[in-house]
Amino acid sequence: MSVLSSRLIRYVRFPLALSAIGLVAVLGFQGLQAAWLTLVLLLLEISLSFDNAIVNARVLDRMTPGQQKFFLTWGLVIPVFGVRFLGPLVMVALAGQVGLGEALDAALHHPDHYRELLEIAEPRILAFGGMFLLMVFLHYFFDDAKTLHWWTSLEKRLSAAGRIEALEVAVALIVLLVLVAIAPGEMRGDLMVCGVLGVVLQLLATSLADAFGDEAQAGARVAAGGGLASFLYLELLDASFSLDGTIGAFAITSNIILIVVGLGLGALFIRSLTLMLTRERALEELIYLEHGAHYAIGALGLLMLVGIPLGAHHLHVPEWLSGLIGIVLLAIALVDSIRQGKRPA
């Protein structure tokens, strides 16, 4: 246990130190309540995105150590500032039909007004992120080459169904059509565009990563391309995971600075956990953990999509629910993996 603990501490040492610095800085500039809210946001991000770390670890495994290091350093710029800060600003500007400067001013100086604008953009954000994550789930289980199954009776059927070409795309588009049909008329066009965009980007990202990955053994140049394709896929996946957390953070505070700091520090922990899972080869021993993560991804994607019609009736899916579902599924997968590992060969 001490060896495992020392390994874990080695990977999270930097995010722990940076989190301590960040919380002390918030405490000094904005007080105890602000520091507490930042800590809550940090824990929210970790609970919502831990399954993201598991899926990322599988993709990261195909990268070289140098590419992994790049992902864990410069790769943070996109999810922290691009998704949690600039992303909502752009969506708010488009949905609220205001300039980017006005959206930035609202975020920094008029957080309540910014929250109102974000609520206008929320259905479009959920449609994109929900369809992207749903496609990740379907792509994983509709795979006729998949031989390792956790919930055997269900997954064998899904794997066999994967012999039908592009079945996951058909299923995803049917879900999107149902969503658009029950949505209020004024937002149907936007939901369709954002949902299709989520499907297309997931297809493009996985196709590029798979294509470059297959050719990676042919030479260093193509291997670098494979790393780039995988990097882009990881960033898109991380962005989709972050969308619900970014929106849900406004239920805790309207202070955009606290949101960026809290969720950004949480994202740093997820990056470190991803690296730990990759380098310690944990997924090779905990064989069902990846399955549990993809079930959690599917649940999160569906919750994001369900949140659109609910939001039209002024109802909201609580953020703790998606986090709780993910934790429960991962816990069950972890227990089953450990039990399987103890069985005699």
Percent of the chain with pLDDT over 70: 80
pTM of the prediction? 0.77
The pLDDT, as a whole number, for residue 210 is: 60
CA 189, 304, 167, 49 torsion-angle sign: positive
> 339 pLDDT exceeds 90?
no
Distances (CA, A) of 267 to 168, 214, 226, 247, 291: 29, 29, 24, 15, 22
Q: What would the pLDDT profile of 199-247 be if each residue is shown by its tens digit? A: 998 888 777 656 554 433 333 333 444 556 667 777 777 776 666 667 6
> 290 pLDDT exceeds 90?
no
The pLDDT, as a whole number, for residue 251 is: 64
Q: Are 60 and 230 in contact (CB under 8 A)?
A: yes
Q: What would the pLDDT profile of 241-265 be if each residue is shown by its tens digit? A: 666 667 667 667 767 788 888 888 8
Q: What rounded mean pLDDT belongs to the chain?
A: 79
What is the spatial distance between Cα 281 and Cα 38, in angstroms, rounded to a whole number?
32
25 pLDDT tier (thresholds 50, 70, 90)? very high
Distances (CA, A) of 337 to 197, 247, 282: 36, 33, 11
The pLDDT, as a whole number, for residue 282 is: 75
